[in-house]
A and B are shown apart, each in its own frame.
Chain A
């Protein structure tokens, strides 16, 4: 598999940022070697997975409102098939961390993450979730949600506009499309 095979409707591969990460990822996977038939099945599975990402919104503050905008009529996250927001972590595929995570919240976000079923992904939306943002110097704020749970995609902005979020979601779709389910490497 090569990077240019990963097709996302509407944006050519070379226009995406951070392509080198995916290239490295593919190289790493190829080093393990997978046979062709399996990789075709993998492609089908990944097609299904990447197009059916049901989010769980871990909205704590402002970014949550922007997610609501993204879900509403003007932007319509449903076009990506992602409007099925599951409130139960057991049924969700993607946790969108939208907002500041503080000390008191840390155990809870970890717990919700643990309750999610594999395969699961995390998207850090906005400056607070990425690094603590405006409150980075505060005594009660965690400097980035990646200190607690692994993050797949970072969407910067304060808050990012819905289009930015969609761009991040497409980045995530690209990442899912690279993964192998039947091969060796599983998350």
Chain B
């Protein structure tokens, strides 16, 4: 199979350089990239139609972009494409937004952080940073002098004009400016400080009466520069950022980074640690889904349901609290195992929680899932087809509600997931209600996983011995896990140092938000909030 793909690539672009690293890596020149991606996406036998990750890297002499593509039918089939330009003054690459919608925001992010502009991307504004930000932070020669970018407390008017660079049919580049909204649009700002944007998302929404005409997503109100900070921290130190990305899947995110480092330096993680990790991961998932459920019901106006959900969540938080001394940010996984062994009553507490939660799931079902108002507000609202889900790279419960089997735990089993039995919840409807039900069903599946593991936690160490200073050998490392919101990925480029050269997190929430303008169009303004609740994104995960 590998040979066939290589042949396909070489047939398309003869001068492509193919290496076999951790993954099959192909380097091409910018002009050929679009063609290659298109061929990979459209071929029948080995269709690579899911863009997992798009990472901008400052490789020193050149500014480049890495694409991780995989097949939506089999997520373990992966190929890495690389391209780059040595023009640091005015770096230009070709956009693949027309092939993958998810590339749009990612390319804008690369522009904001590395200054690479993408030809043919319809909207080339900076994504996280203000338009007047001086410098490109992820470049190695970035000047961090705070005087260049002083804190301003002056409110500025929003400018809804987007620049873009187009390539005309005769190969010329034209820069032009487009208005995002029409002149007489009634625009309201949902966010950045708004009760139900699940954080500091900013949707500039133009309305036609109550109906949403168009959404323009602004992000970066909590862009904290984690990736840049990570470049000057050691691997154990970086771990504490992962908790704070998607704070609701804190433990799962941390698991991903730990696994990535462990695989790179071949650390055998003790069995006991694996068990604790998976149990804690699943508890985290339940915790996250419960919060998603609560937040969504709250968005739909059912405050009481919100309180019920939070009440059940508190029991999980207590277990976390006793295990590792944190409620939300738990700092449990470390490289080589876990930081704390379980406490004496851990198994008892978890086992008491399982039947309790099952009882509550029935209550939720009676209380909200069949409520005629809730049904009217979620069924058939915010529809997303499978193809759209794949193109926007919407994974997790939301992707599975559009009938896309995208559970990393099934496709690329890690840790103990190939030893436990669980179902991947798929629904065909693709609407807000399906996403909502998927979460409740996934709670049930998580309970089932925990049930299988909780009695069999083996004795032994809970953490392997590691060196005091962890250095990753030179190379590129990817690791993907199934976080509560979808696929979470870690990409580390190491140059053999104790610090990563480039570290990138693939956040599931970014894909969820990028799909919002599509699925909200034509719905009511009240549904915009409800759909947001059903997508369940976490903003710090997007902004990083």
Contacts and interface: CB of A to CB of B under 8 A. Distances in A.
B224 A103 contact: no
Interface stretch (B93-101, B225-233, B383-391): B225-233
Nearest to A65: B328
A61 B193 contact: no
A108 B241 contact: no
B199 A141 contact: no
Nearest to A109: B193
A111 B155 contact: yes
Nearest to B220: A104
Contact of B153 (A60, A100, A148): A148
B224 A138 contact: yes
Listed residue (B142, B154, B193, B291) with the most chain A CB atoms within 10 angstroms of its CB? B193
Interface residues on B, range: 35 or more
A74 B314 contact: yes
Contact of B225 (A61, A71, A109, A135): A135
Contact of A74 (B129, B311, B329): B311
B153 A103 contact: no
B223 A102 contact: yes
Contact of A66 (B146, B151, B308, B327): B327
A112 B189 CA distance: 14
Contact of A100 (B152, B224, B307): B224
B151 A147 contact: yes
B200 interface: yes
A41 to B, nearest CB: 36
Contacts of A142: 151
A62 interface: yes
B458 interface: no
A179 to B, nearest CB: 26
Nearest to A159: B328
Contact of A158 (B241, B248, B329): B329
B113 to A, nearest CB: 10
B422 interface: no
A49 interface: no
B307 A61 contact: no
A106 B314 contact: no
A27 interface: no
A54 interface: no
A106 B151 contact: yes
A138 B192 contact: no
Given A61-B222, A87-B195, A161-B327, A108 B155 contact: yes
A89 B255 CA distance: 39
Interface residues of A, number: 41
Contacts of B241: 134
B200 A60 contact: yes
A69 B225 contact: no
Contacts of B193: 58, 108-109, 112
B199 A59 contact: yes
A62 B222 contact: no
Interface in A95-116: 99-100, 102-112
Listed residue (A69, A110, A142) with the most chain B CB atoms within 10 angstroms of its CB? A69
A181 B290 CA distance: 44
B412 interface: no
Interface in B121-157: 128-130, 137, 142, 144, 146, 149, 151-156
B328 A66 contact: yes
Contacts of B306: 72
B313 interface: yes
A103 B130 contact: yes
Listed residue (A103, A111, A139) with the most chain B CB atoms within 10 angstroms of its CB? A139
Given A61-B199, A61-B244, A87-B195, A104 B223 contact: yes
A140 B223 contact: yes
A104 B130 contact: yes
B136 to A, nearest CB: 11
Given A62-B540, A107-B153, A139-B149, A102 B224 contact: yes
A135 B149 contact: no
B247 interface: yes
B540 A61 contact: yes
B317 interface: yes
Listed residue (B220, B224, B311) with the most chain A CB atoms within 10 angstroms of its CB? B224
Interface of B: 128-130, 137, 142, 144, 146, 149, 151-156, 192-195, 199-200, 220-226, 228-229, 232, 240-241, 244, 247-248, 291, 294, 306-308, 310-311, 313-314, 317, 327-329, 539-540
- CB-based closest 3 A-B pairs: A72-B310, A138-B225, A62-B247
9 contacts: A60-B540, A61-B199, A61-B540, A69-B314, A72-B307, A74-B310, A102-B223, A105-B200, A161-B327
Given A87-B195, A103-B149, 6 more contacts: A60-B539, A103-B152, A104-B128, A105-B192, A134-B241, A141-B224
Interface of A: 58-62, 64-66, 68-69, 71-74, 87, 99-100, 102-112, 134-135, 137-142, 147-148, 158-159, 161
